[in-house]
Amino acid sequence: MAITTCVFDAYGTLFDVAAAARQAAAEPGQDALRDKWPELANHWRLKQLQYTWLRAVADAHADFWDVTQDGLDWALEATGLQGDPALRQRLLDLYWELQAYPEVPAMLKALKDGGMQTAILSNGSPPMLEGAVRSAGIGGVLDDILSVESVGVFKPHARVYDLVCDRFGCERSNVLFVSSNGWDAAGASGYGFVTAWVNRAGEPMDRLPWTPAHVLSDLTSIPELAGV
């Protein structure tokens, strides 16, 4: 069946999750962070994801902003940067203003010009996602921003993916779902979406029962995959 709806994970897919640490490290007075920001960013993202999985299987859901702060606190301690409240606050403030990857605005515009329905489907809470979309200036090329907060469980639970067809009235096979997380793309494949994994880092394929239909290095070719 033809693709009618293109849905994107947010963090790491449309928005560069390393941007907060990278930008903070470039600011005056951040000498301690300057050499450690890549390690901090990696720890922060990994713990953020791990905590969503643990909370999902333990039925202990929390707002993604709480999970993001918990992940940062672990990362700061792991890199020896704990005990600096100003640095912690600066990193959290910057997370609300994450930069979109360079190809994102033109890619989304091409989809909309081609008649596609477009949306974000994310673990992020609505205020976080709205802040990132506003900062990136891409609200005009998105039909909706779907958050797990409406179902109270994190991805890759099927209730999250249900949000897409409930919102757009489409079949699963009409959806092209795009994520930079291999596990997310795999989970969406098992659910029945056509999937694209944006593997920017060239990582190995996750050993899961399902695999994404497409593996890409960036988002440039998404309109072609969608048939526009």
To the query of whether residue 9 is one of the catalytic residues in this protein, the response is yes
**Cα 110 from Cα 84, distance rounded (Å):** 44
| Bond into 28 cis (ω within 30) | no
Catalytic residue among 9, 16, 35, 218: 9
Residues designated as active site:
9
